[in-house]
Amino acid sequence: MSKTLVDIDDDMLAFAQQQLGTKTKRDTINRALTIAAAISADDRARALRWLQDNAEDFLDFDFLEEQERSGR
């Protein structure tokens, strides 16, 4: 393990500790790194595919096109 000096947002670190249930800065950062490393390109591709397949259920494309045409 290496030592690295970094500036960390204290509020974000406290929030991450709360969300992850960790007690120390080291545990919080290591847990967050573990989670980030576990998110694979396949997971991102699968999520993007789901968003593309389900976009019409969540977005009003006619409204968006109208807004784009009107310059809003």
Q: Which DSSP state fits 45?
A: H
Q: What is the tens place of the pLDDT at every residue in 15-66?
A: 999 999 999 999 999 999 999 888 888 898 999 999 999 988 888 888 989 9
Q: Which of 39, 3, 36, 26 has the alpha carbon at shortest distance from 13?
A: 26
Predicted confidence band of residue 72 (pLDDT cuts 50, 70, 90):
confident
Q: Which structure tokens are listed for 62? A: 């006619």
